[in-house]
Amino acid sequence: MNHSEHSHGTACACEHHAAQKSPAALLHHALEHATHYLPAQGPIGVFVHHNTLHAFQHMPFEQAVVKAAEIFDAEPYLSEQTYQEHRQHGRILDQDIDAVLAREPDAVLLGGRLTRRELRRVLLIPGVRRVNHGNLTWQIEEGNFLREFRHDLPPTAARALASDQPDRLWPVCTSRYKVAPVAAPQQPSRPAETVQESHGIALDEVVNPVLVRLVSSYLDQGLAYWPMPDREIGFLGASRALFTSTWLSDWPVLLRGIRGEFERLADQSAQDIVLDLLAGFGVPEQDWEALIRQELLSLPGWAGMIHCLEVDPLLAPHERPSFSLMEFLAVRLILTSVVLKNVTGSITEWRSHPVGAMAYHDPLTHQARLFDACQLLGYHSELLAGLSETEFDELCHELELCNEWERRRLLHLAYELRHERRILIPLSRHCAMPAVVEKSDRLEAQVVFCIDEREESIRRALEEVEPLIETYGAAGFFGCAVDYTGLDDPHGVSLCPVVVKPAHQVAEIAVEEDHSLGHVRQKARRTWAKLTRTASIGSRTLVRGTVSTACLGFLSLFPMAFRILAPLRFARIMEKLNAFFLPEPRTELQFMRNDDESRHATTGLLSGFSIAEMADRVANMLHPMGMTKGHARLVVVLGHGSSSLNNPFVSAYCCGACGGRSGAPNARLFALMANKSEVRTLLRERGIMLPEDTWFIGGYHDTCSDDVELFDTDLMPSSHATDLVKLRGKLDEARARAAHERTRRFESFNNHRSVSAALRHVKERSVHLGEPRPEYGHCTNAVAVVGRRSTTQGLFLDRRAFLVSYDVKNDPEDRYLAAVLGAVIPVCGGINLEYYFSTVDNERYGCGTKLPHNISGLLGVMNGYQGDLRTGLPLQTVEIHEPVRILFVVETTPERVLAVIHANPLLKEFLENRWIRLAAIDPDHGGIQVYRGNGVWEELSGDEEPLPIAKSSIDYYRGKSEHLPLARISPQLLTSA
């Protein structure tokens, strides 16, 4: 499903045709609409970050989060209490709140005695107390609610109230407040809503377990030993075959008659069954969509999984029976109707019980809020009693407008505003200062990393270790979208962003001399696989299990104890054993175009690249980064990935630009291409002057263990050997420093320990069986800087910024800017928004704590033994995240960046609906303009945020674990001063 289709789903233009459509078409339409609300996460083996509220992206952010919160019963922002705590700790300043309020429309209230802004300001500073129906009675009877006024009142208010008493004010509030009429009861949208009230039985608790068992067995990718029978005839058919096979299926009390119902509907298609049951429920056509949506949202994880697999069956890693959401819905409705009949005796009766809004009707809270507001405003009881009817109503109305969600919205905007100023003001100060590193004749090396914000620390560390090394950031597939088959892989996988379909095939093979070794390895792997599989299945079955657990079980105590008590040592020994039993041959990539093979390929993929295609790819990467001349003798291209144990979410930590996999092969391929002399000849024609003595090396950076590996160094001319040794040493120093910086976030490591201890610690995390946070992933992402490294070089960005190398001087027509933004805004924006939503509501949008997770069907995780699939990010991944929308800082002029973004509908939607924030930094004088929407730019002014200067990164961060403000890392300046 492409973006525009999806995002406009809820604002579908076909609404007005509805009247003329057939019931079947209407049903499909309703189902299609309902699917927009399902999570879009596929099987967890490939975790792709995307905007959790993708379906709402056509709406402005602030409206979308509220709408979604209503539909999903979720939180739109952090809690009010959290924001107030941030305010107390100086993370939100009063001036931010004032600035936010100043942007909101104002109004004159109470005949000029009050303005909306003044009212809202006191509701935010010092803020209202947390009262609700539940705790208010206690507050009144046991607490000081009616005994004294608040202690944190503004002085003027306190003076005004000096002669008044709370128990005089309170009666005025309660007696004058007009209780809003109870909302009229509504027609229920689905049976579960009323049966709970009328019969005390939660339908979902009966239907869901049965459905979860069926669907998890049906979708299972090979976890169960005995696959579900009849999978080839589809979910409906397989379920029907099971339920009708034996009278036992009628045995559960509330499922009585399920067999008959399946038999009655035996020869109908899923669609007919759904139509039949919708008619049976007595639901009119216009309410179908609501019913279907609510039914599907009762198990959003499983419904969403089926939907994802239906859209792209290739997402399923091993088993691909037919996936159909309609069949899922049909089975769900059959189960619902049977249970409903057993509970209420009829399947239409539920509609005659309207659902009251009783639970939400809570006048006492409003009265208490008014009481609070009067204190904050200094309105004593006589003043309040003296207000005219209309004035009093106006005050109440205004208070209700500034309800909890509204206050949280305002506080969130202030929270983001302070973040923006903490980034932009120091950045502009930094740009105004002279460059940290002076230009030299020739660089010692150039290292290209992924744009990933986790690479920011190692880039800075490398530049600190050796100022003559320059680093770059490019999307981690390095322009090489390939279908790659590694030496050990049974088939190819796509190494490129998920929206791209690779057209070229590349394979890793053992080099000529090591062919026999390669065979030995594969043979050993086959034997190992056979043994392990027999053992793991065997340990669970009846007979084999008896033999293996009784005879050999005891022996597994020693590796188990060793592994858990000394994970790092165990990993080292395992590595040695692996090297002995599974010898690794030297390998090469098969990447040259083979026309013969391409013609005969059944996959439709071209095998390898032609010289011109290679030159395209190399040029398309070097051009935007401005790497057209002045290359160093060594250029290293580092892909990244992440290794960890016992972690179903490992793919979420890998390279997003490589589809949730490791980008090592792409880096290796890129270097091989760039080293080809034919390619270089073509590059010269395009204005990229690669010197004869420049050599490219591909490599891999593990963001969890901070290991760095370089490939194909044996192909390098011997003249570069010393350069490489030097560079290797510096990379090692840099990765150790990066690891040390990373450990400041980990509570279990004392950051005052040495750099090498930190490196050991992160390595241990990556091999520890019981480590729920091998790394923090993208947890700190907040900013993306698109521009030259010189803008940010020497700036401590705290691993919070995606750094995209883009040289505006090289791009007069904004061609590269369009390409770069077209890729990075959806990718970085998607990552950022996924983290945002998983943080503000970890139970609804995220997948809760990792600790009880249970892998189901190799597709995802669920809680317990028959729950819903959980989508989104786990608590352990987002616990230190600051949920702010990502701030893009683009180094170009406001007009140019806006033109580029507006030319692309997707980017325009991202920007104009405020799902991202944007600022432009002038490439010539460093002035910063902030985008405020609707074409309005605002010049950055003010200087309340300082730019601390430190001698080295470690001096700045050591021993601190919180988010740190930007700092300038400048060894020379301090020593000379």
Ranges within 360-419 binding another protein (CB under 8 A): none
C-alpha gyration radius of the chain: 31
* Least Å from the CB of residue 866 to another protein: 8
- Residue 44 · residue 648 · CB < 8 Å: yes
Residues in CB range of 556: below 8 A, 6 or more apart: none
CA atoms within 13 A on the CB side of 49: 33
Q: Give the Å distances, CA to CA, from 508 to 487, 505, 587.
A: 5, 10, 6
Among 81, 156, 163, 245, binds another protein (CB under 8 A): 245
Stretch that binds another protein, among 31-39, 84-92, 543-551, 622-630 (CB under 8 A): 543-551
Examine residue 540 and tell whether it contacts another protein (CB under 8 A): yes
- Nearer of residues 485 and 832 to another protein, judged by Cβ: 485
Among 851, 899, 903, 974, binds another protein (CB under 8 A): 851
The string of DSSP letters for 210-269 reads HHHHHHHHHH--S-SSSPPTTGGGHHHHHHHHHHTT-GGGG-SGGGTTHHHHHHHTTTS-
Stretch that binds another protein, among 379-387, 558-566, 693-701, 922-930 (CB under 8 A): 558-566
Examine residue 577 and tell whether it contacts another protein (CB under 8 A): no
- Nearer of residues 198 and 713 to another protein, judged by Cβ: 198
* Least Å from the CB of residue 873 to another protein: 15
Angle at 105 between CA 100 and CA 109, to 5 degrees: 115
Binders of another protein among residues 101 to 120 (CB under 8 A) are: none
Among 772, 822, 926, 927, binds another protein (CB under 8 A): 772
Residues in CB range of 365: below 8 A, 6 or more apart: 131, 132, 133, 136
Exposure pattern of 116-151 as b/e (b: 16+ CB <10 Å)? beebbbbbbbbbbbebeeeebeebbeeeebbeebbe
Stretch that binds another protein, among 197-205, 271-279, 669-677, 718-726 (CB under 8 A): 197-205
Examine residue 200 and tell whether it contacts another protein (CB under 8 A): yes
Examine residue 44 and tell whether it contacts another protein (CB under 8 A): yes
- Nearer of residues 258 and 621 to another protein, judged by Cβ: 258
- Measure the CA–CA gap between 469 and 455, rounded to whole angstroms: 15
Among 81, 556, 603, 972, binds another protein (CB under 8 A): 556
Helix (H, G, I), strand (E, B) or coil at 739: helix
Among 52, 57, 84, 216, binds another protein (CB under 8 A): 216
Examine residue 574 and tell whether it contacts another protein (CB under 8 A): no
Give me 297's structure tokens.
């949202």
Examine residue 426 and tell whether it contacts another protein (CB under 8 A): no
The string of DSSP letters for 543-576 reads HHHHHIIIIIGGGGHHHHHHHHH-HHHHHHHHHH
The string of DSSP letters for 595-608 reads HHHHHH-SS-PEES
Among 74, 201, 468, 973, binds another protein (CB under 8 A): 201
Exposure pattern of 190-226 as b/e (b: 16+ CB <10 Å)? bbbbbbeeebebebbebbbebbbebbbbbbbbeeeee
Stretch that binds another protein, among 124-132, 216-224, 296-304, 682-690 (CB under 8 A): 216-224
Give me 240's structure tokens.
């029907």
The string of DSSP letters for 378-395 reads T--HHHHHHS-HHHHHHH
Among 255, 278, 315, 329, binds another protein (CB under 8 A): 255
Q: Give the Å distances, CA to CA, from 696 to 221, 368, 445, 679, 692.
A: 41, 69, 10, 13, 11
Examine residue 228 and tell whether it contacts another protein (CB under 8 A): yes
- Measure the CA–CA gap between 190 and 201, rounded to whole angstroms: 14
Examine residue 242 and tell whether it contacts another protein (CB under 8 A): yes
- Nearer of residues 548 and 970 to another protein, judged by Cβ: 548
Examine residue 132 and tell whether it contacts another protein (CB under 8 A): no
Binders of another protein among residues 443 to 472 (CB under 8 A) are: none
* Least Å from the CB of residue 863 to another protein: 7
- Nearer of residues 245 and 348 to another protein, judged by Cβ: 245
- Nearer of residues 220 and 420 to another protein, judged by Cβ: 220
Residues in CB range of 435: below 8 A, 6 or more apart: 790, 793, 794
Stretch that binds another protein, among 283-291, 400-408, 438-446, 549-557 (CB under 8 A): 549-557
Total residues contacting another protein by CB under 8 A comes to 109
Examine residue 846 and tell whether it contacts another protein (CB under 8 A): no
* Least Å from the CB of residue 331 to another protein: 13
* Least Å from the CB of residue 209 to another protein: 6
Among 196, 269, 594, 620, binds another protein (CB under 8 A): 196
Examine residue 314 and tell whether it contacts another protein (CB under 8 A): no
Which segments within 721-821 are labelled E, that is strand?
A: 783-787, 795-796, 801-805
Stretch that binds another protein, among 15-23, 105-113, 118-126, 770-778 (CB under 8 A): 770-778
Angle at 212 between CA 204 and CA 36, to 5 degrees: 75
Examine residue 539 and tell whether it contacts another protein (CB under 8 A): yes
Examine residue 933 and tell whether it contacts another protein (CB under 8 A): no
**Given its phi and psi angles, is residue 881 left (phi above 0), alpha (psi -120 to 50 degrees) or beta?**
beta
- Measure the CA–CA gap between 306 and 87, rounded to whole angstroms: 44
Stretch that binds another protein, among 371-379, 502-510, 555-563, 634-642 (CB under 8 A): 555-563
The length of the chain, given as a count of residues? 977
Q: Give the Å distances, CA to CA, from 88 to 76, 78, 131.
A: 22, 15, 20
- Nearer of residues 415 and 749 to another protein, judged by Cβ: 749
* Least Å from the CB of residue 561 to another protein: 6
Residues in CB range of 514: below 8 A, 6 or more apart: 585, 586, 587
User: What x-and-dash track marks residues 326-365 binding another protein by CB under 8 A?
Assistant: --------------------------------xx------
Examine residue 492 and tell whether it contacts another protein (CB under 8 A): no
Binders of another protein among residues 630 to 669 (CB under 8 A) are: 645-648, 650
User: What x-and-dash track marks residues 519-538 binding another protein by CB under 8 A?
Assistant: ---x--xx-xxx-xx--xx-
Examine residue 580 and tell whether it contacts another protein (CB under 8 A): no
Examine residue 587 and tell whether it contacts another protein (CB under 8 A): no
Examine residue 561 and tell whether it contacts another protein (CB under 8 A): yes
Please report where in the chains the tokens 């995002």 appear, as a residue.
7
Examine residue 60 and tell whether it contacts another protein (CB under 8 A): no
Instruction: Note the helical H segments in 312-362.
Output: 325-344
Among 748, 941, 975, 976, binds another protein (CB under 8 A): 748
Examine residue 489 and tell whether it contacts another protein (CB under 8 A): yes
Examine residue 13 and tell whether it contacts another protein (CB under 8 A): no
- Measure the CA–CA gap between 616 and 737, rounded to whole angstroms: 36
Stretch that binds another protein, among 172-180, 548-556, 623-631, 669-677 (CB under 8 A): 548-556
Examine residue 971 and tell whether it contacts another protein (CB under 8 A): no
* CB < 8 Å & 24+ apart, contacts of 708-716: 708/638, 708/732, 708/735, 709/664, 710/636, 711/664, 711/667, 711/668, 711/671, 712/588, 712/668, 712/671, 712/672, 714/586, 715/675
* Least Å from the CB of residue 513 to another protein: 23
Examine residue 317 and tell whether it contacts another protein (CB under 8 A): yes
Examine residue 237 and tell whether it contacts another protein (CB under 8 A): no
Examine residue 494 and tell whether it contacts another protein (CB under 8 A): no
- Measure the CA–CA gap between 553 and 305, rounded to whole angstroms: 37
Binders of another protein among residues 893 to 922 (CB under 8 A) are: none
746 burial via Cβ count (<10 Å: 0-12, 13-18, 19+): middle
